[in-house]
Structures are given as structure tokens and as C-alpha cells.
A and B are shown apart, each in its own frame.
Chain A
Amino acid sequence: MSGQTVPADFSGHMLDLDEDEDLDVFTKNTSLADGSPMPNSPSSMVNQYRLEEDEEDQQGAFTKDVFVSVDNPESHVTAIETFIMYRVVTKTTRSEFDSSEYDVRRRYQDFLWLRSRLEENHPTLIVHPLPEKFVMKGMVERFNDDFIETRRKALHRFLNKISEHPILSYSQHFKVFLTAQDLASQRKQGPGFLSRMGETVRAVANSVRGLRSRPEEFSTMHDYMENFSNKISSVDKVAQRIIKEQREYLDELKQYSPTYSQWAESEQDLAEPLKAVASCVERCSKETEEQVEHLSEVLVPTLHEYVLCAETVKAVMRRRDNIQAEFEAKNEALMSRKVDQEALQEEVDALGDRVELANNALRGDWSRWQGSLRTDLRSAFISAAEKNVEYYEKCLAVWESFLMSQREESSEQKGEDAS
């Protein structure tokens, strides 16, 4: 990756990436001597990779020119309720935006609004999912720090996914979301919700009629999504189980090291090596703690996101199916009736176009989404593997330094005995 040459026309964007605040760029410091090395973040490399891939996939090169970050969660108290407001900072070079920088405050509900608008306007595009409303298991408090931080990161990723999307990033609602100081007045709640309900009713009605035949490409997509959904859920569960086991292991380690130091208290010559081992076990347990945190902060969120993504894609495919079903239903009616053929023909044609558009939109977004999936999961697994290597390397160093100290001790002793 490091040896990859970048085409000349990308070099300008490379500079943008380096300065961008929401893309972490770390330098890899392999020497352990001066403390913990910074992990090499794959996201910087990944974004170079992804841009190149998009370049190949789409006719026009999509270059990211809207940079968004979500941070600074603050508790907001009103007479009726308490909720968290997040700061959303946007930096952009796009001409559609009046300014190049925006700083607004948004709450979770606002994100929900944005996403529902995007879905409504683009029913067969894959709109990245939001973090769940609440977590059932463990009865996590809504205002628990970990929960807020996890949510903040997911919201950050959500907006970044939208800003990287060649179509969705140009959505008017997206612009409003990023720029309006007072979003409440801009949000038109009524029609939005109603129209969503209407769609659901239509969907139910159509599914009753059933789909004639799904084009093969979408059948393949459907089958794949069923399987993928199962697999990614399983991987997510395994990862969470590993975290649980690691935490229990960590608890026992914490009980283990004092047994060495306590023993050292009643020993003389043996006290030194016993204390040294106690300290080794302690340091290893700190490394274990870090490793577990990394898993929960990097791997699990990504896996979980794609569990949600899988549901999103399945919903998108259902909507596409429904659009096709609607067309087929009307078409059938057209075939059977002789009355009002002209008017009906127009409707059928419109629906037919709609099917065409929907299929194209999904088709295009599907390959984009697959690429994104591959990149994200790949980098999450790589990161987890790297962290594990780092963990073992650090523990190795701890125990090796103990061995060194014991060798020094014994050569000292031999010197003493000889003298």
C-alpha cells in the first residue's frame, strides 16, 4: 500500500485528505522504545483506495468535496425533555453551498429526519443506516458516556457515508441538514411521515398481489443478501462473545498478579523475581484492557453497522420489488380492460419508467455498496489483526525484559559468589 503511486490528477486531493480533520492520519512508529506506537490507520489509505475504485466504477470521477464531522455531544435540557445535541461541522468547496464552513447543532431526531427524507426521495438507493434508537440488552442508559460516544461515532460515519455518495450528497435535505441554524422550522414533519405511511400501505397491497418474476440479477442479489445478513450477524455475535470472554479473562488476571506480590512479602531472595513477575502480569493485563477496547471501538461497531446495512439493503430490494409489482399490476389491468386505455397507458408507461429508474439506481448503488462493504470490513479486520499483533508484541517485550533482568541477577550473584 505504501508503495502505491498516485495518479497525477489525484495529488491535489491527497493534500486535501491530509488536512481533513475527520480523516485520521497516523504515522507508523515501529520503535517500541519511546512508548506506545501509533497504529497505522487504514482509513487514510482506504480513502485513497476507495477514490480510485470509484473512479473506475463510475463514469465521472466522484471526488469528495464535503467533509463532515460530528463531535462535542452536550446535554440539552428543556422543560419537557432532556436530550443530547451533537455539533456537526462541515467544510466544503462546493459552489452550491453559500459558505465553505458550517457549524450547527443537531439531535438524534434530526438525523432520523434526514435519513427518512433521503430514503423517500431515493427509494432504491442504499442509504447508510443510523445507530439504533436504544440498546435493549444490558439496559444501557441513554446518557451513559460509552453509549453516547458509540452513537456519536456512528452518526459521524453516517454523515460521511452520505457525503461520499455521488447522488445523496447532492440532496437538498442533506444541504439543509448541514447548514440550517434552526432545523426545526425547515423540517416539514407532516407530509414526510404520511407519505412514508402511504408507501407502506402500497407495499402491503402490492406484496399481496405478488411479484411476477424478479430479474435474475436481483434474484442473485436477494439470495446473496439473505446469506450475507446471516453471516454478518454471526460474525458480529462472535466478536461480541470474544469481548465478553476477554473481559472475564481480564478480571481473573487482575486477581492473579497480587498473588505473586503478596507471596514476595514473606520471601527474601525470592522476593525480587516474584515482584517482577507480578509487575509483568499487571502490565500484560493493561495491554489486554487496551486490546479489548480496540475490539469494541473498531471491529464491533463496523460489524454491527453492516448488520444494520444488510437490513437496509433488504428493505431497498423489497421497495424495488414493490415498484415492479405495482407496474405489473397496472400493466395487467391495462391488458385486460379496453376502457380508458389511453389514460391507463400513460400511467403504465410512467410506472414502467419508474421501474427502469429504480433498477438502474439500485444496480449502480449496489456495486458501490459492495465495494464499500469490502473496504470497510477489510480494514476493520486488518485493524483488529494488527492490534492483536501489537498486543502480543508488547507482552513479549514485557516478559523478555523480565528474563533479561533475571540473567543480570544471576550473573551478579555469580560475581558475588566468586569474590
Chain B
Amino acid sequence: MKITALLVLKCDPETPEPVILANVSDLSQFGKFSFYRSNFEEFIVFIARTVARRTPPGQRQSVKHEEYKVHAYNINGLCAVGFMDDHYPVRSAFSLLNQVLDVYQKDYGDTWRFENSSQPWPYLKEASDKFRDPAEADKLLKIQRELDETKIILHKTIDGVLARGEKLDSLVEKSSELSLASKMFYKQAKKTNSCCTLL
């Protein structure tokens, strides 16, 4: 049960790319050292932006990508994105994202609408540690809004989130925020995962 990353983004219809307001990642799976750590971090940011941009306000989405599930929840332009593993219950993930958005609003009010860069936000790290056990996230269900009528869409692949004709491969290739090294890392990861398929 893992929370690999939690991010808060500003999804403004004015700005083309969502702005990352806060970002925490747990890369302990890579050990103290890894050749691929920085590539992976770049990718988290890239995927988070890609998914957040395509999550309209009032919507929740879950996307399966490689061995992760990416969950996004947009409330009025403030979007929380979580990268969890396949084992972490989707339901609990959204409880957590809901909580993250609530606390962010409490801490920052509406000032985030004018924010254009990422700031350290201690609660995010706390949340990432505390809610590693989904049972903790489930406790939140009792105090969260009962009427959460926000629509949820579950996608089996990230191409499902993209517009018709768009493919992740080409977005990666065209991206100016991904280094050459990360683009190569993406291709290698795809190849490694293609030898075993889930039925």
C-alpha cells in the first residue's frame, strides 16, 4: 500500500498548463540511490499536469498508468492528484484527496488563485505518511461531506484521459518539460513492462 506522490495544482482555464502549488513524493522504493530517481520525479510532475489539465472542476478521475493508479480531484480549479499503487483502494484515495483539498483551502484560503509557483506545505508530507494505511483515510469518510455527488470516471489507460487522437507517447516526445534522459527512461520502462501482461 503506497502513496508515491501527492500534489496540489491550480487548474486555471486562463493558463494552459496547471501550476504545481505543492508536491511531495516518496521515492524510498528506489533506495538511497538510483540512476532513475530524477527521471521518475520529472515524470510524476508531467503526468500530474497532464491528468489535472484534463480533469474539469467538479470531477474525479482515476487512471491506471504502468504500475500506478493516478487519482485526480478538481474542486473549483484546485486539483489534488495522488499517485498510489494498485493495492491502495480507490475509494480511500479519494477520501484522502478530498481531505487534502479541504485542508489546503483552510490553510491558504483563496490566495492560491494568484500563486504561480510551488511552496513547501508541511501538511502534504504528514498526510502522505499518515494515510499510507488506507484505514486512516477511511476514518475520514465519516466526517466528510455525505453528499459527494461529484462524478467519477475510471480509466484503464492514460490514453483514455486524453483527447481523441492524442497519445501519451507523442505528448512525451513533444514535451519541453521532460529532459531527454526522462524521455529515454519512459521508453525503457514501457519495454520492461511489456513482457508480462495482465489478462
Task: Verify that A and B bind, or say they do not.
Answer: no
Residue positions of B touching A, CB distance < 8 A: none
Residue positions of A touching B, CB distance < 8 A: none
